[in-house]
């Protein structure tokens, strides 16, 4: 084996730690000295090649720096004499056969033997492939601004943050919380889209679990390879529709990792009790199927019953081991997003953020737009809304908005029909009507009647510009994932709106998929509009001291609070009422003065306070619906007392037992205090060493 040279200090240190024989040390030191004198950077030895017995399994192997080999690691000091990352242990792994961590090169037999199954991507790679992948990554230093974030340094910033996460998790979350507005776009959208596109090249340290079609029949045992006895939150994806970037296969796990970073930073979820998951059922991305360095299964996606069986097995496995876990589905293609949501939502504690979270944020924004137009919220059912996009996000928003309108109108059959008539849905084929052939069943309730649109001068398949011009909507809502869809002509048509202050919601992610930019909207329509987007944009200077406010309608406002509220209430399921309570809480968060300025969403810098209030609203609704079963010391009966505003309740914080105190506060304040006391904060613990 070719072994990098060792400095004497490193050799001495490792001989003590590894209890190597003095004769072996002397022989290796002699060989190293001779090689150095000859001007050689390495020497060859066959000493010590024998079967190695490990006393570690699973993540203990993958995460212990003693077992970390360069093949998947990168950025390490091969000479054993120190590095910028503080690693001096690398070289000894090569010559003493302690380089146990082979990364993605572990065979399936070894993965089963060492409890590694599910902890690594399913595609077994050779060491040559690992080197090729690493070298390809080194060459990919320039960010293509057209395909990724507008800031060419974004990917470099992600790498730096990711390395900090690997070295010091506490410091990582301290930084993220302190600079959440600045770094949320780096760890999540829009930068995470670029990360997912390049994840096979960026992969260094395994994070999360991988359940693949090749693991059928094994998942119930695989789930025990994860070392944590308690997991509170799982974010799972199948990689089929990552943001607006399409099928990225196993590389989509980056979206689950980024999402959980926000659960920790925004909701105070304990990072030791969260789990990102990839369900790898193949990919239909031909580019990935032909890429020898792709980490996932290189076969076409499962579909139909085979697909459902894989997801069923996964859900049964994780809820068997962790009965109280919450599972958030993320970036599943539309045809499965709704089916899986309906299949599981009344059985398990789960929700789909693309469908329900996006809908909640959109509802909050729409209600905020009503306030910004100077109208009472009860006028919401009168708003005319044109929706561009009929995917999972678009249909999710439509269903939620219709339910909200119907509830305001009395929640009867007439109310639902009246609410339905306020929406015009346009997809890639134009306006959706009852004449549409092979219409998506989820879009059918919103298909316009031919007689209705005939009176408006419209027909099946009418263009977005035609629809906007004829309908004169109060709101133009984009969830199409088509960048630039709101063209100058479409925005010009919005000048015909019957509203004195129309709202434009360009909600598609990532940035390049936004239907329009705030500059485009304000330049065409002037300052008297309300603008919101899914990705972050800067406010627009309109001159004369006027500012065009750009509101980011980020799902981050809601999903942390929904998850935390569900956890702390112990709710058996996540109901529509709990989601509605979250949306209404967000809609009411802004002051009247802020809303009249066109500010309908708060700054991300307030996210922990926002999450606290949203979680409290979710808990309150869960209690009122009799779904709450309690959390730890706070059982269902104590939660009921809390909701009734009973004074002198004893609230216990499992994170800090000394903080127990008698509270004599209002109902809302009591619940918010309960939430606050259960939000994890990144602090260094006091450590004490105890000998066995």
The average pLDDT across 106-116 equals: 85
pLDDT at residue 664 is higher than 50? no
DSSP per residue, 474-510: SEEEE-S--TT-S-HHHHHHGGG-SSSS-EEEE--SS
Using CA atoms, how far apart are residues 162 and 195, in angstroms rounded to an integer? 11
Determine the distance from the C-alpha atom of residue 136 to the mean position of all C-alpha atoms in its chain, rounded to a whole number.
27
Which of 160-164, 265-269, 641-645 has the largest mean confidence? 265-269
pLDDT in tens, 527-548: 999 999 988 899 999 998 899 9
- 259 belongs to the catalytic site: yes
Look-up of token digits 């606050």: 676
Which residues are documented as binding site for a divalent metal cation? 330-331, 354
* Region of residue 282 (phi > 0: left; psi between -120 and 50: alpha; otherwise: beta): left
Residue range 103-112: mean pLDDT, rounded: 84
Annotated binding site for (S)-malate: 241, 509, 554
Summarised one tens digit per residue, pLDDT across range 406-430 is: 999 998 989 999 999 999 999 999 9
In 3D space, the residue among 334, 470, 462 whose CA is nearest the CA of residue 398 turns out to be: 334
What's the pLDDT tens digit per position in 592-602?
999 999 999 99
pLDDT in the model for residue 202: 80
| Marked catalytic residue, from 69, 173, 199, 259 | 259
Phi, psi (degrees; rounded to nearest 5) at 498:
-75, -10
Active-site option among 188, 210, 263, 307: 188
Helix or strand or coil: residue 348? coil
Q: Over 70: is that where the pLDDT of 518 sits?
A: yes
pLDDT mean over 98-102: 53
The pLDDT score that the predictor gives to residue 660 is 41
SS3 568: helix
Domain span(s) for CATH 3.40.50.720 in the chain = 357-555
Within 8 A by CB and 6+ apart from 551, the residues are: 365, 368, 530, 531, 532, 533, 598, 599, 600, 601
The residue among 79 and 133 whose pLDDT is bigger is 133
At 338-350, the pLDDT tens digits run 999 999 999 999 9
Fold of 357-555: Rossmann fold (3.40.50)
Strand 503-506 with 475-478, pairing: parallel
Q: Which of helix, strand or coil describes residue 425?
A: strand
Calculate mean pLDDT across residues 134-163. Answer: 65
559-591: per-residue pLDDT in tens?
Answer: 999 999 999 999 999 999 999 999 999 999 999
Phi, psi of 650 (to 5 degrees): -90, 115
- Is domain 127-332 in CATH 3.30.360.10, yes or no? no
**Taking a C-beta distance cutoff of 8 angstroms, is the pair 565, 631 a contact?**
no
The fraction of the chain above a pLDDT of 90, given in percent, is 61
What whole-number distance in Å separates Cα of residue 628 and Cα of residue 639?
8
Highest mean pLDDT among 130-144, 459-473, 543-557, 660-674: 459-473
Q: Which of 226, 249, 259 has its CA nearest to residue 330? A: 259
Which pLDDT tens digit goes with each residue over 150-192? 556 888 889 889 888 988 899 899 999 999 999 999 999 888 9
557 pLDDT above the threshold of 50: yes
Radius of gyration of the chain (CA): 28
> Residues 293, 132: contact at Cβ < 8 Å?
yes
Q: Among this protein's residues, is 689 annotated catalytic?
A: no
pLDDT band of residue 86 (cuts 50, 70, 90) is: very low
Q: What is the pTM of this model?
A: 0.77
Whether the per-residue pLDDT at 658 is higher than 50: the answer is: no
Report the chain's terminal Cα–Cα distance, integer Å.
36
Q: What is the pLDDT of residue 148?
A: 47
Give the pLDDT score at 689.
62
What's the confidence (pLDDT) of residue 107?
87
Mean local confidence (pLDDT), 92-118? 66
pLDDT given for residue 637 in this prediction? 86
Q: Which residue has the higher pLDDT, 405 or 85?
A: 405
What is the average pLDDT value for the chain, to the nearest integer?
A: 84
Q: How far apart are CA 473 and CA 485, in angstroms?
A: 17
CA-CA-CA-CA torsion for 629, 630, 632, 634, nearest 10 degrees?
-140
Ranges of CATH 3.40.50.10380 domains, the chain:
127-332
Question: Residue 442 region, left (φ>0) first, then alpha (ψ -120 to 50), else beta?
Answer: alpha
CA distances from 87 to 70, 90, 138, 168 (A): 12, 7, 20, 14
- The whole-number average pLDDT for the span 32-53 is 61
Considering the chain, what percentage of its residues have pLDDT values greater than 70?
80
Give the residue numbers of the binding site: 241, 330-331, 354, 509, 554
Query: Strand runs (DSSP E) across 535-589, as ranges?
Result: 540-543, 546-548, 550-552
Averaged pLDDT for residues 53-64: 60
What pLDDT score does 59 carry? Answer: 64
User: What's the average model confidence in pLDDT over 471-491?
Assistant: 96
What pLDDT digit, counting tens, does each position of 271-310 carry?
999 999 999 999 999 999 999 989 999 999 999 999 999 9
């Amino acid at each position: 084996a070719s072994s990098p040279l060792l400095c004497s200090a490193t050799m001495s240190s490792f001989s003590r730690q590894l209890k190597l024989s003095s004769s072996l040390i002397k022989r290796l030191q002699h060989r190293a000295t001779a090689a150095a004198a000859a001007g050689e950077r390495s020497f060859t030895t066959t000493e010590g090649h024998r079967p190695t017995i490990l006393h570690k399994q699973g993540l203990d192997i993958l995460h212990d720096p003693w077992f970390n080999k360069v093949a998947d690691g990168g950025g390490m000091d091969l000479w054993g004499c120190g590095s910028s990352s503080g690693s001096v242990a690398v070289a000894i792994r090569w010559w003493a056969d302690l380089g146990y961590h082979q990364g993605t090169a572990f065979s399936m037999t070894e993965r089963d033997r060492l409890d590694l199954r599910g902890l690594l991507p399913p595609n077994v790679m050779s060491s040559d492939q690992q080197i090729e992948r690493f070298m390809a990554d080194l060459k990919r230093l320039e960010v293509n601004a057209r395909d990724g974030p507008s800031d060419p340094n974004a990917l470099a910033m992600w790498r730096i943050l990711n390395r900090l996460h690997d070295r010091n998790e506490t410091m990582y979350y301290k930084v993220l919380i302190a600079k959440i507005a600045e770094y949320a776009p780096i760890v999540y959208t829009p930068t995470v889209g670029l990360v997912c596109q390049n994840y096979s090249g960026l992969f260094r340290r395994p994070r999360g679990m991988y359940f693949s079609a090749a693991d059928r029949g094994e998942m119930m045992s695989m789930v025990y390879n994860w070392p944590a006895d308690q997991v509170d939150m799982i974010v799972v994806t199948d990689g089929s529709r990552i943001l607006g970037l399409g099928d990225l296969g196993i590389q989509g796990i980056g979206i689950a990792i980024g999402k959980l970073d926000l659960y920790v930073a925004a909701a105070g979820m304990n990072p030791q009790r969260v789990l990102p998951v990839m369900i790898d059922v193949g990919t239909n991305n031909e580019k990935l199927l032909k890429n020898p360095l792709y980490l996932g299964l290189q076969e076409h996606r499962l579909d139909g019953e085979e697909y459902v069986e894989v997801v069923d097995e996964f859900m049964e496995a994780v809820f068997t081991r962790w009965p109280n876990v919450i599972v958030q589905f993320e970036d599943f293609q539309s045809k499965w997003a709704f089916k899986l949501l309906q299949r599981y939502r009344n059985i398990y504690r789960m929700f789909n953020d693309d469908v329900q979270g996006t809908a909640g944020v959109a509802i909050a924004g729409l209600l905020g737009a009503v306030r910004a137009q100077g109208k009472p919220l009860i006028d919401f059912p009168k708003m005319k809304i044109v929706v561009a996009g009929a995917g999972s996000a678009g249909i999710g928003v439509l269903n939620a908005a219709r339910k909200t309108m119907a509830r305001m109108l009395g929640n009867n059959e007439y109310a639902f029909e009246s609410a339905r008539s306020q929406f015009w849905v346009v997809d890639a084929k134009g306006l959706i009507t009852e004449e549409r052939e092979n219409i998506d069943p989820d879009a059918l309730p919103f298909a316009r009647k031919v007689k209705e649109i005939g009176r408006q001068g419209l027909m099946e398949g009418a263009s977005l510009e035609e629809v906007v011009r004829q309908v004169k909507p109060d709101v133009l809502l984009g969830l199409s994932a088509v960048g630039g869809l709101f063209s100058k002509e479409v925005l010009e048509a919005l000048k015909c709106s019957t509203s004195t202050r129309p709202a434009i919601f360009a909600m598609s992610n990532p940035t390049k998929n936004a239907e329009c930019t705030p500059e485009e909207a304000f330049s065409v329509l002037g300052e008297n509009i309300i603008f919101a987007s899914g990705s972050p944009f800067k406010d627009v200077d309109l001159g004369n001291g006027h500012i065009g406010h750009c509101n980011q309608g980020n799902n981050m406002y809601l999903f942390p609070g929904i998850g935390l509220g569900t956890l702390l209430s112990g709710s058996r399921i996540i109901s529509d009422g709990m989601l509605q309570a979250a949306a209404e809480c967000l809609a009411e968060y802004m002051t009247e003065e802020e809303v009249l300025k066109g500010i309908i969403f708060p700054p991300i810098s307030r996210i922990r306070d926002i999450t606290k209030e949203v979680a409290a609203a979710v808990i309150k609704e869960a209690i009122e619906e009799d779904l709450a079963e309690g959390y730890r010391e706070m059982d269902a009966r104590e939660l009921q007392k809390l909701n009734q505003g009973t004074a002198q309740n004893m609230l216990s914080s499992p994170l800090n037992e000394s903080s127990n105190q008698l509270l004599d506060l209002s109902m809302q304040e009591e619940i918010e205090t309960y939430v606050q006391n259960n939000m994890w904060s990144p602090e260094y613990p006091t450590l004490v060493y105890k000998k066995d």
